Structure 1
Amino acid sequence: MTTSPSCRSAPIDRRCILVIATLASFLTPFMSSSVNIALPLIGEEFGANAVLIGWIPTSFILASAIFMIPMGRLADIHGMRRIFFPGFVIFTIATLLCALSDSTSMLIGFRLVQGFGSAMIFSTAVAALTAVYPPGERGRVLGINVASVYIGLATGPFLGGVLTHAFGWRSIFLAVLPLGAVVILLLLRNREEWTERNPDHFDLFGSVLYGLMLLSLMYGLSVLPETAGWGYIIFGILMLALFIRREMRVESPVLQVRLFLENHVFAFSNLAALINYSATFAVTFLLSLYLQYNRGLDPQAAGLILVAQPLVQAVLSPAAGRISDRIEPGIVASAGMGVTVVGLAMLALLTAETPPVFIVGALALLGLGFALFSSPNTNAIMSSVERRYLGIASATLGTSRQVGMMLSMGIAMMIFSVVIGRVQITPEYHAALLSSVQIAFALFAALCVAGIYFSLARGRVRSEAA
Structure 2
Amino acid sequence: MPNRDIKSIWVPLIAIVAGSLLGPLDSSVNIAFPDITEKFGIEVETIRWVIIPYVATYGCLMLVFGRLGDLFGHLLVFRIGLVASMVSYGLCGLAESFEWLLVFRVIQGVATAMLLSCGPALATGLFDENLRPRILGAYAMTYGLGTALGPSLGGILVEAWGWPAIFLFRVPIAVIAFLLLVGRVLPSLPKDARTTGWIGISGNTARNPAFVIVNATNIVVNFTAFSVMLLVPYFIAQPYTPSLSVGGAIMATGPLTMMFSAQAAGYLIPVFGANRLAFIGALSVGIGIYSVSLWSGDVAIIWMMLSLAIFGFGWGLFQTSSFEMVSAALPRSQRGVAGSLVLVMRMFGVVLAAYFLMLFFTDSFENARAANAPNAFLEGFQVSFEFAGLVLLGFLLLTLLRPGVWLRRW
2:208 and 2:194 map into 1 onto residues whose CA distance is: 23
| Corresponding residue number in structure 2 for 1:34 | 28
1:18 and 1:263 map into 2 onto residues whose CA distance is: 34
CA shift for structure 1 position 252: 6.0
Matched positions, count:
399
| Corresponding residue number in structure 1 for 2:252 | 307
CA shift for structure 1 position 16: 4.7
- Which of 341, 363, 378 is matched with 1:396 structurally? 341
Checking the alignment, whether the CA contact within 8 Å between 2:121 and 2:336 is kept in structure 1 is: yes
| Corresponding residue number in structure 2 for 1:22 | 17
Deviates more, 1:132-141 or 1:281-290: 132-141
TM-score normalised by structure 1 residue count: 0.79
Per-residue displacement from partner, 1:110-168 (whole Å, max 9, x unpaired)? 11111111111111111333445334211111111111111111111111101111122
The runs of 4+ residues in structure 1 deviating greater than 6 Å are none
Checking the alignment, whether the CA contact within 8 Å between 2:227 and 2:388 is kept in structure 1 is: no
Per-residue displacement from partner, 1:201-236 (whole Å, max 9, x unpaired)? 6xxxxxxxxxxxxxxxxxxxxxxxxxxxxxxxxxxx
Change (3 A) 1:432 1:110: farther
TM-score normalised by structure 2 residue count: 0.89
- Which of 390, 393, 409 is matched with 1:446 structurally? 390
Change (3 A) 1:276 1:55: same
CA shift for structure 1 position 279: 0.8
Per-residue displacement from partner, 1:349-405 (whole Å, max 9, x unpaired)? 222222222211101111111122211221121112112322222111110111111
Checking the alignment, whether the CA contact within 8 Å between 2:82 and 2:175 is kept in structure 1 is: no
| Corresponding residue number in structure 2 for 1:275 | 220
Checking the alignment, whether the CA contact within 8 Å between 1:159 and 1:303 is kept in structure 2 is: yes
Unaligned runs of 5+ in 2: none
- Pairing of 1:218-257 with structure 2 (within 5 A): 253-254=198-199, 256=201
Checking the alignment, whether the CA contact within 8 Å between 1:273 and 1:377 is kept in structure 2 is: yes
| Corresponding residue number in structure 2 for 1:205 | none
**One-letter code aligned to 1:404:** G
2:259 and 2:109 map into 1 onto residues whose CA distance is: 23
**One-letter code aligned to 2:317:** L
- Which of 350, 365, 373 is matched with 2:310 structurally? 365
| Corresponding residue number in structure 2 for 1:107 | 101
Change (3 A) 1:414 1:7: farther
**One-letter code aligned to 2:306:** G
Q: Aligned to 1:124, what secondary structure does the other structure show?
A: helix
1:63 and 1:408 map into 2 onto residues whose CA distance is: 16
- Which of 54, 76, 83 is matched with 2:70 structurally? 76
Q: Does 1:334 align with 2:279?
A: yes
2:182 and 2:204 map into 1 onto residues whose CA distance is: 35
**One-letter code aligned to 1:443:** F
1:172 and 1:408 map into 2 onto residues whose CA distance is: 22
- Which of 32, 41, 46 is matched with 2:40 structurally? 46
- Pairing of 1:382-393 with structure 2 (within 5 A): 382-393=327-338
1:155 and 1:173 map into 2 onto residues whose CA distance is: 14
- Pairing of 1:318-333 with structure 2 (within 5 A): 318-333=263-278
| Corresponding residue number in structure 1 for 2:379 | 435
Unaligned runs of 5+ in 1: 202-250
Change (3 A) 1:163 1:114: same
CA shift for structure 1 position 432: 3.6
| Corresponding residue number in structure 1 for 2:405 | 458
Change (3 A) 1:259 1:441: farther
| Corresponding residue number in structure 1 for 2:152 | 158
2:175 and 2:206 map into 1 onto residues whose CA distance is: 42
CA shift for structure 1 position 323: 0.8
Deviates more, 1:384-393 or 1:190-199: 190-199
- Pairing of 1:278-289 with structure 2 (within 5 A): 278-289=223-234
| Corresponding residue number in structure 1 for 2:171 | 177
How many percent of aligned residue pairs carry the same amino acid?
A: 25
